[in-house]
Structure 1
Amino acid sequence: MKRKTAVKWLAVLAGAGLIFWGNKTYLNLSPKEIRIWVLSFGGFAPLIFIGISIFRPFVLFPVSVVSIAGGLAFGPLLGTLYTLFGSMCAAAVSFFAAGLFAGKKNGQYEKLEAIQKQMEDNGFFYILLLRILPINFDFVSYAAGLSNVKKLPYFSATAAGIIPGTIALNVLGASVSTGNQPAFFMVLALYIIFVSLPFLFRKKMQNLFQESN
């Protein structure tokens, strides 16, 4: 069983590496290029953009690039709304896909059991901190799917955790397209607040991770 599990994880890592290489080689798109392509669909542009957001985790494309493209294409308000909706859909797809892959089986690794228990007991706060911290968005989604964290804490913490960063990146994209300096300084202030939040919860975060060791 352990050998089969090791082979399974090696295959997953190899596949992820291949996707990452293909992404860097063939999908190394800028926010401006995504904006031009999305807007070429006219009235269907919002649906195309949301579709890109949902499909993005499967090719490991950076969520920050898509978020900035949303601001460039649709402005700070609609861009933020479309990006939030697409990101929540992507988080759901990754979460359930990882859950199906894992089969929700426990007892294989002691370390994994400890992390799963922390996610069950402190699911909302645990995931909220991971969403706020500069940790890969899809990694958190897949990790949560592999654990036994409940759906409500996962989705509510994801929604709360991604709002500041999504607003900041979309306003940044919109300010680049319009040359709006006040908007640029506003997004800078939002970013400072965003990156300061983990320090406010540093003690709680340390306790959570220490308990999972």
Structure 2
Amino acid sequence: MNEDFAQRPTTLLPQGPSFLKQHGAKLLALLFWSLLVGGYYIYTQVNNLTLADSLALIVDFLTSSFAGPLFFVLLYTLRPLLFFPATLLTLLAGFLFGPIGILYTVLGGNASAMMAYGVGRYFGQGLLDDEEDTNVIQKYTRRLRNNSFETVLVMRLIFLPYDLVNYAAGFLKIKWQPFLLATAVGSLPGTISVVLLGGSFGTLEALMAGNIQLDPLSLTFSIVLILVSIGLSRFVKGREAKAAS
């Protein structure tokens, strides 16, 4: 019986995703933040800088040098890998650069969407398993494959999680051209409103001094756009609900 057992062919169990594919993005983000926080701490200690001094240097680099906007766009592009909140960076674009920050955010936002799309396409299965909104994404899975542009546009307009949509599009291997075009169009109203909101908060010096002076024109325009975006999202959701019933 032992000989028969030894001669039986062994069945190989399917192997799951490798550790790198499961956790590669998280490890990269951890490495980046470790280097960033460690480098910041060493730099401030060596140069005896306060928090206000270091913030002023960063703002001066971003706003007064040619490389500043390029660095901002690069940071925005890499944002999905670094787990940096998109809304915070968009607010900073308005605060640091004013209305021209809309251009930098559009460039960085679309580049970051393609970055997350590429991550989803490469790392594949596993990226969406732990997300609470996976069932929402799966609702649009078939439509993503059959009608990529319209579906991505709808998902942008109804404010589904930005990076989750990017990962899903990459994981499903939809064509990148309609994905990018729908992202650029669908994200524009929200981008403009958030950038203008960030631009309404005045200067860094005033904020550090506790003197918050809001720009009423930028703030009003931002609020109007936010309300229009919310109204548009409700309209699109209503049409989606009617189509599904």
Instruction: Check conservation: 1:39, 1:73, Cα contact below 8 A.
Output: no
Tell me which amino acid in the other structure corresponds to 1:156.
Answer: L
Task: Tell me, in whole angstroms, the C-alpha distance in 1 between the residues paired with 2:148 and 2:169.
Answer: 9
Tell me which amino acid in the other structure corresponds to 1:86.
Answer: G
Residue 185, structure 1, aligned to residue 220, structure 2: yes
For 1:35-67, what per-residue CA distance to the aligned partner results, in whole angstroms no more than 9, with x for missing partners? Answer: 862532522111011011011110111111101
* Larger relative contact order, structure 1 or 2 (CA cutoff 8 Å, min sep 6): 1
Local SS of the residue matching 1:148: coil
Residue 62, structure 1, aligned to residue 85, structure 2: yes
- Cα pair distance change 1:137/1:100, threshold 3 Å: same
Among 143, 147, 152, the residue aligned to 2:172: 147
Task: Tell me, in whole angstroms, the C-alpha distance in 2 between the residues paired with 1:134 and 1:82.
Answer: 21
Instruction: Check conservation: 1:116, 1:149, Cα contact below 8 A.
Output: no
5+ residue gaps, structure 1, are 28-32, 104-110
How many residue pairs end up in the alignment? 191
5+ residue gaps, structure 2, are 1-12, 39-53, 126-134, 204-213
- Cα pair distance change 1:35/1:96, threshold 3 Å: farther
Structure 2 length as normaliser, TM-score? 0.66
Task: Tell me, in whole angstroms, the C-alpha distance in 2 between the residues paired with 1:63 and 1:113.
Answer: 23
Correspondence list, 1:123-134, <5 A? 123-134=148-159
Task: Tell me, in whole angstroms, the C-alpha distance in 1 between the residues paired with 2:190 and 2:175.
Answer: 24
Instruction: Check conservation: 1:99, 1:146, Cα contact below 8 A.
Output: yes
For 1:132-161, what per-residue CA distance to the aligned partner results, in whole angstroms no more than 9, with x for missing partners? Answer: 233332111111100132222211110011
Among 64, 71, 74, the residue aligned to 1:51: 74
Aligned residue in 2 for 1:205:
240
Q: Which has the higher helix share?
A: 1
Aligned residue in 1 for 2:109:
87
Larger radius of gyration: 2
Percent same amino acid at aligned positions? 24
Question: In the TM superposition, what is the alpha-carbon distance from 1:120 to its structure 2 partner?
Answer: 1.8
Local SS of the residue matching 2:151: helix
Task: Tell me, in whole angstroms, the C-alpha distance in 2 between the residues paired with 1:204 and 1:123.
Answer: 18
Aligned residue in 2 for 1:121:
146
Local SS of the residue matching 1:48: helix
Residue 196, structure 1, aligned to residue 196, structure 2: no
Task: Tell me, in whole angstroms, the C-alpha distance in 2 between the residues paired with 1:14 and 1:207.
Answer: 39
CA root-mean-square deviation = 3.4
- Cα pair distance change 1:175/1:114, threshold 3 Å: closer
Residue 40, structure 1, aligned to residue 61, structure 2: yes
Task: Tell me, in whole angstroms, the C-alpha distance in 2 between the residues paired with 1:35 and 1:50.
Answer: 20
